[in-house]
């Protein structure tokens, strides 16, 4: 049930709980806990606006996670491998266009009806028609052949379909309506018992779940601003609370800092073509960053460790690609900080310094604007760090905050600090592959036919492991690619660690590498958490 509460009411409730210590939660300020319940504080932005409906992004997008309430055909392991969940088998046609899935026959929705292939087909066709978060454009049609068999007919080969199936929760055709997201029925590990919009959502273990019985029988997720969440931990009213690097060194009695490894990366694009205006009047390209030697110099002229220390208080790791540590990552992307070599590259390329210390070549000044989302203080600090470091190798950078309403267009000519990272190799495709309608990649002007071909071949490959090798070659094949030795059209700075204060006697299960978004990923395996 969904109840709307005013912001004032939410604050009063929290203050009351904090001071009187009389919460109905599993965790009291005196440390007494029920051994099968947990309370987790998440960012306000983690609350799904469209409710708990996979069709509208629950379980997908920037905060990729297992949808908890619903089951998926497959799931990803801790090393991002693919394992069966609702699916019992998968057969892919030679042309990669037909995927035949056998669905297990012992699964029921929480209203007692059996989950069948018809529910699977209904879910995917609904996502194809209405999803605004996950990409289902490759799906022509899902057909239930019989109660236990579903066929996915694709418009073109798409090896990453496995990763789509791992985050798409199955909804019941018979019980689906426009208010499904507020009152979801699923077959997953948990049942959503209560949703107080703007405040909290309560999940309880599904007694009829077909898999292993969860250790945690009740999960309460409270949506809080950063400062309020920290206060909740200090008051002992939550068991797990997200926090930022700026707070991570604080000592909170009864809690320890938990660090989750991520592919939640930050970096900036470097437009790889010269400045021009297209037939729509859009300014595209940058005369300075169009020089590949400039891009190579920038990539090794930034001390990533210093960026992490200065901006993230040390809570992060260097990033060299959009897919660090993923099964499809090519380690050839890694570089060492070498400002002297960066200067040498610029010198040899004809970029000479003047009396002001700023370089130029043929009337083009070695400068660019570095944009950042004006609402994001971390990205602003990253931009300032990059500015200060590049000044030392003779490049002048001016930083500017922008809104997302103009950022995408501005980034076609001015570099922008971005945040990416997902549990799918399609992140590479989306950033680097040429868009046929423009002749350039979508987010920053760049194109490489050979890299495109490797990615197209990777998508067509029916063997997932073989597709990984093609994704790696798209990054660098020994001759060309998107790494330092190649075109280097993006500069990756850091992967931001996701930080949480966790009650001392709560054991968090091993985490998958978290994707972009400091939200639901932490509770992916809450069923395996335990109290000591």
Sequence-separated (6 or more) residues with CB below 8 Å from residue 498 = 242, 259, 260, 262, 264, 514, 518, 521, 522
DSSP letters along 432-463, please? HSEETTTTEESSSS---HHHHHHHHHHHH-SS
**Statement: residue 253 has pLDDT above 60:** yes
The pLDDT value recorded for residue 21 is 38
* 407-443 per-position pLDDT tens digit: 999 999 999 999 999 999 999 999 999 999 999 999 9
Please tell me the distance from the alpha carbon of residue 156 to that of residue 160, in angstroms, as a whole number: 12
399 backbone dihedrals φ, ψ, rounded to 5°: -95, 150
3-state secondary structure of 472: helix
What is the end-to-end Cα distance of the chain in Å, rounded? Answer: 33
pLDDT band at residue 61 using 50, 70 and 90 as cut-offs: low
pLDDT (tens digit, 9 = 90+) per residue, 475-496? 999 999 999 999 999 999 999 9
Instruction: Quote the crossing angle between the two packed helices 292-300 and 339-348, to the nearest 10°.
Output: 170
Beta-carbon-side half-sphere exposure of residue 181 (alpha carbons within 13 Å): 15
Specify the higher pLDDT residue, 353 or 26.
353
Q: Is residue 418 within 8 Å of residue 390, measured between CB atoms? A: no
279 against 99, higher pLDDT: 99
- Do residues 18 and 232 touch, judged by C-beta distance below 8 A? yes
* Per-residue pLDDT, 135: 87
DSSP per-residue letters across 40-96: EEEEGGGS-TT-S-GGGTTT-TTS----SSS--SEEE-TTS-EEESSEEEEEE-TTS
Task: State how far the Cα of 446 lies from the Cα of 269, in Å rounded to an integer.
Answer: 10
Cα–Cα dist 44/25, whole Å = 20
Residues 3/197, Cβ–Cβ less than 8 Å: yes
Residue (of 219, 183, 221) closest to 201 by Cα position: 221
* pLDDT band for position 237 (cuts 50, 70, 90): very high
Distance of CA 357 to CAs 259, 287, 384, 395, Å? 41, 19, 18, 8
How do residues 183-208 score in pLDDT, each as one tens digit? 999 999 999 999 999 999 999 999 99
User: Quick check: 276 pLDDT over 80?
Assistant: yes
Q: How confident is the model at residue 63 (pLDDT cuts 50, 70, 90)?
A: low
The pLDDT tens digits for 64-98 are 677 899 999 999 988 888 999 999 999 999 999 99
Are 516 and 62 in contact, with CB atoms under 8 Å apart? yes
Q: Identify whether the C-beta of residue 41 lies closer than 8 Å to the C-beta of residue 241.
A: yes
Residue 32 is predicted with a pLDDT of: 54
Is the distance from CB of 237 to CB of 31 less than 8 angstroms?
no
State the Cα–Cα distance between residues 263 and 132, nearest whole angstrom. 23
Report field, pTM of the whole predicted structure over 0.85 = yes
pLDDT for res 273: 98
**Coil vs helix vs strand at 386:** helix
Residue 213 to residues 54, 199, 216, 232, 511, Cα–Cα distance (Å): 23, 28, 9, 30, 19
- For the chain, domains (ranges, CATH) are 51-190 (3.40.190.10), 265-495 (3.10.105.10)
DSSP, collapsed to helix, strand or coil, labels residue 274 as coil
- 8-state DSSP, 383: H
The pLDDT assigned to 59 comes to: 82
CB 269 within 8 Å of CB 416: yes
Sign of CA dihedral 330, 331, 337, 338: negative
Q: Are 146 and 102 in contact (CB under 8 A)?
A: no
Q: Average model confidence (pLDDT) for the chain?
A: 92
pLDDT at residue number 50: 86
In a 13 Å sphere around the CA of 291, the CA atoms on its Cβ side amount to 21
- Residue 424 is given by DSSP the state S
In the structure, what pLDDT confidence band is assigned to residue 471 with cuts at 50, 70 and 90?
Answer: very high
Check: CB of residue 260 under 8 Å from CB of residue 514. Answer: yes
How many helices (H) and strands (E) the chain has is answered by 12, 29
What pairing do the DSSP bridges indicate for beta strands 37-43 and 218-224?
Answer: parallel
Q: Is 273 helix (H, G, I), strand (E, B) or coil?
A: coil
Residue by residue, DSSP assigns 112-142 as SPBP-HHHHHHHHHHHHHH-SSS--TTEEEE
The pLDDT value recorded for residue 34 is: 63
Mean pLDDT of 248-272: 97
């Amino acid at each position: 049930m969904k109840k709307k509460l005013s912001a004032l009411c939410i604050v009063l409730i929290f203050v009351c709980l904090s001071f009187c210590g009389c919460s109905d939660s599993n965790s009291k300020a005196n440390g007494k806990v029920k051994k099968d319940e947990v309370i987790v504080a998440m960012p306000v932005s983690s609350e799904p606006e469209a409710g708990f409906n996979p069709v509208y992004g629950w379980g997908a997008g920037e905060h990729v996670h297992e949808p908890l309430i619903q089951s998926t055909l497959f799931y990803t392991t801790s090393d991002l491998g693919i394992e069966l969940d609702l699916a019992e088998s998968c057969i892919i046609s030679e042309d990669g266009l037909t995927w035949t899935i056998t669905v297990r026959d012992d699964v029921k929705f929480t209203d007692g009806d059996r989950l069948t292939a018809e529910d699977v087909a209904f879910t995917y066709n609904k996502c194809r028609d209405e999803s605004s978060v996950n990409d289902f454009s490759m799906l022509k049609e899902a057909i239930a052949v019989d109660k236990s068999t579903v066929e996915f007919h694709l418009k073109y080969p798409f090896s990453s379909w496995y990763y789509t199936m791992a985050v798409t929760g199955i909804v019941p055709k018979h019980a689906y309506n426009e208010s499904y997201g507020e009152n979801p029925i699923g077959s997953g590990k948990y049942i959503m018992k209560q949703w107080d919009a703007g405040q909290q959502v309560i999940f309880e273990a599904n007694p009829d779940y077909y898999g292993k019985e969860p250790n945690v029988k009740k999960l309460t997720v409270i949506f809080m601003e950063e400062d309020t969440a920290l206060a909740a931990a200090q008051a002992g009213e939550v068991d797990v609370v997200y926090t930022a690097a700026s707070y991570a060194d604080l000592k909170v009695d009864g809690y320890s800092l938990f660090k989750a490894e991520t592919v939640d990366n930050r970096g900036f694009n470097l437009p790889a073509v010269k400045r021009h205006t297209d037939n729509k009047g859009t300014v595209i390209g940058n005369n300075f960053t169009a020089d590949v030697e400039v891009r190579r110099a920038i990539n090794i002229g930034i001390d990533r460790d210093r960026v992490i220390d200065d901006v993230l208080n040390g809570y992060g790791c260097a990033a060299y690609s959009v897919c660090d540590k993923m099964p499809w990552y090519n380690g050839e992307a890694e570089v060492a900080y070498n400002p002297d070599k960066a200067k040498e590259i610029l010198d040899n390329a004809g970029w000479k310094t003047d009396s002001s210390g700023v370089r130029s070549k043929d009337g083009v000044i070695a400068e660019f604007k570095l944009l950042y989302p004006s609402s994001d203080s971390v990205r602003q600090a990253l931009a300032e760090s990059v500015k200060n470091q590049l000044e030392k190798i003779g490049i002048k950078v001016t930083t500017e905050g922008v809104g997302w309403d103009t950022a995408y267009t501005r980034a076609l000519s001015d570099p922008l600090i971005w945040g990416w990272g997902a549990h799918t190799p399609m992140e590479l495709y989306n950033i680097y592959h040429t868009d046929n309608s423009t002749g350039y990649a979508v987010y920053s002007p760049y194109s490489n036919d050979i890299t495109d071909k490797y990615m197209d071949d990777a998508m067509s490959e029916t063997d997932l492991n073989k597709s990984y090798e093609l994704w790696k070659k798209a990054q660098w094949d020994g001759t060309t690619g998107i790494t330092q030795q190649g075109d280097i059209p993006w500069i990756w700075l850091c992967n931001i660690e996701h930080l949480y204060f966790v009650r001392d006697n709560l054991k968090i299960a091993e985490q998958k590498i978290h994707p972009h978004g400091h939200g639901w990923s932490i509770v992916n395996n809450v069923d395996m958490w335990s109290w000591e």
